[in-house]
């Protein structure tokens, strides 16, 4: 039995992550990547991948190396039959923040003192009370936490989960998906006919997608079937 859930996230803090960098401006696109959502919802048990006893108690908060392990962390969700789509914005506003820092140059005796050279940057963040929507496809019933943390600042967001009516599974047909998708997760099982690109790391997303293949339909929602986490070889 396939369960499809509609999940709405409402921000209670400003949300920041660098979708694009334009000079000293770091901009946050109003869309949430499905990789980050899997971590936020707790579907990835990071402690399973700790390599030492000491690391078991610190991995959730500190990573000794800044190397993403998406394939290692997300592939087990395919065996569990859980898939989370990227989240689109239902409504949002932005805030612009300026931050400053100074370079501290230390010197030794008899050398000229180097002055601190102040610098600055700006972040365009998603404002509190903005809302996002994503969908979850699962072979088993899901229970999510009421609150999650998102983005670089670990911003707080409220979670509202609604299970949709039992979906109808359509076989190979052409359809349009109104929701953002991860192209790697659909390109092997569907023929992607047209789309708009959302450039963002680690994998750019697509939206307004017209596809040919299997899909689920329930309560006016059409979502590709057979999606699973795939990664570049």
Sorted by where each begins, the domain ranges of the chain are 3-161
Phi, psi of 108 (to 5 degrees): -105, 165
String of DSSP letters for 176-210: EE-S-B-HHHHTTTSEEEEEEEE--SSS-EEEEEE
Q: Would you say 34 and 86 are in contact if contact means Cβ atoms under 8 Å apart?
A: yes
pLDDT confidence of residue 52: 34
Q: Which residues of the chain have pLDDT under 70?
A: 46-65, 101-118, 233
Contacts of 166 (CB under 8 A, 6+ apart): 1, 2, 218
pTM of the model: 0.84
pLDDT confidence of residue 114: 58
pLDDT confidence of residue 100: 75
pLDDT confidence of residue 66: 72
Instruction: Say how far apart CA 176 and CA 210 lie, in whole Å.
Output: 4
Strand partners, 169: 216
Closest C-alpha to 158, from 144, 169, 168: 144
């Amino acid at each position: 039995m396939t369960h499809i859930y509609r999940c709405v996230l409402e921000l209670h803090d400003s949300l920041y992550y660098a979708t694009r960098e334009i000079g000293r401006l770091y901009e946050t696109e109003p869309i949430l990547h499905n990789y980050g959502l899997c971590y936020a919802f707790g579907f990835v048990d990071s402690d399973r991948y700790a390599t030492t006893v000491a690391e078991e108690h610190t991995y959730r908060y500190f990573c000794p190396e800044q190397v993403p392990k998406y394939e290692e962390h997300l592939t087990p969700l395919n065996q569990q039959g859980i898939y989370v789509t990227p989240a689109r914005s239902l409504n949002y506003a932005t805030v612009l923040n300026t931050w400053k820092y100074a370079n501290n140059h230390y010197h030794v005796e008899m050398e000229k003192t180097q002055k601190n050279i102040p610098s600055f940057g700006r972040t365009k963040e998603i404002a509190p009370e903005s809302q996002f929507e994503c969908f979850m496809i699962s072979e088993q019933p899901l229970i999510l936490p009421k609150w999650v943390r998102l983005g670089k600042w670990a911003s707080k967001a409220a979670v509202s989960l609604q299970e949709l009516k039992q979906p109808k599974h359509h076989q190979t047909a052409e359809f349009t998906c109104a929701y953002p998708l991860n192209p790697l997760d659909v390109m092997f099982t569907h023929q992607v006919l047209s789309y708009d690109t959302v450039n963002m790391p680690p994998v750019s997303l697509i939206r307004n997608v017209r596809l040919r293949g299997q899909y689920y339909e329930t309560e006016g929602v059409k979502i590709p079937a057979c999606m699973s986490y795939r990664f570049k070889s």
